[in-house]
């Protein structure tokens, strides 16, 4: 993922959320552009959203997609990228997909395929980075 958004952060309905002492909310974090460039051709890039609750209906999945147009949904992607930004550590997000967003009674989970995909992607990324960004 090149970016991740913390979905539904703030005040419901989109109004202004006034926080004490001038604090602000950060809802979007980005992968390190240099790492993304060095891994060009290795990954399928996209954007993600992080949610605080498991999406269980097609209606919620549709609402989130219409609002954020994200390629993936997770519960931790934003925190990893944002933590890296704050710490000044270059990072990118590598994901293996195991299921579709929606009704949990009808979704087809495949943890093995997701784990296999992320292992293969990570191996490719590490190989590309070790080679200095070229094959």
Residue ranges of domains in the chain, CATH in brackets: 3-8+26-130 (3.40.50.1580)
Return the number of other C-beta atoms located less than 10 Å from residue 31's C-beta. Answer: 24
**Model pTM above 0.85:** no
**Residue 56 per-residue DSSP state:** -
Spatial CA neighbour of 58 closest among 109, 100, 6: 100
Separation of CA 25 from chain center? 18
Q: CA of 30: how far to CAs of 23, 25, 100, in Å?
A: 20, 15, 23
Q: Half-sphere exposure of residue 131, counting CA atoms within 13 Å on the CB side?
A: 13
- pLDDT tens for the chain, residues 1 to 135: 899 999 988 777 777 788 899 888 899 999 999 999 999 888 888 899 999 888 888 899 899 999 999 999 998 999 999 999 999 999 999 998 888 887 776 667 888 999 999 999 999 999 999 988 555
Three-point CA angle 14, 77, 61, nearest 5°? 55
Return the number of other C-beta atoms located less than 10 Å from residue 126's C-beta. Answer: 13
* Cα dihedral across residues 59, 65, 66, 67: positive or negative: positive
């Amino acid at each position: 993922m090149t970016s991740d958004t913390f979905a539904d952060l703030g005040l419901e309905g989109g109004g202004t959320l006034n926080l004490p002492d001038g604090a602000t909310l950060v809802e979007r974090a980005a992968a390190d552009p240099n790492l993304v460039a060095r891994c060009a051709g290795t990954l399928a890039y996209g954007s993600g959203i992080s949610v605080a609750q498991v999406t269980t209906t097609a209606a919620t999945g549709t609402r989130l997609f219409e609002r954020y147009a994200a390629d993936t949904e997770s519960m931790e992607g934003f925190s990893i990228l944002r933590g890296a930004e704050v710490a000044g550590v270059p990072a990118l997000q590598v994901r293996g997909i195991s299921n579709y967003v929606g009704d949990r009674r009808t979704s087809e989970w495949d943890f093995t395929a997701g784990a296999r995909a992320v292992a293969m992607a990570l191996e490719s990324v590490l190989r590309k980075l070790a080679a200095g960004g070229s094959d």
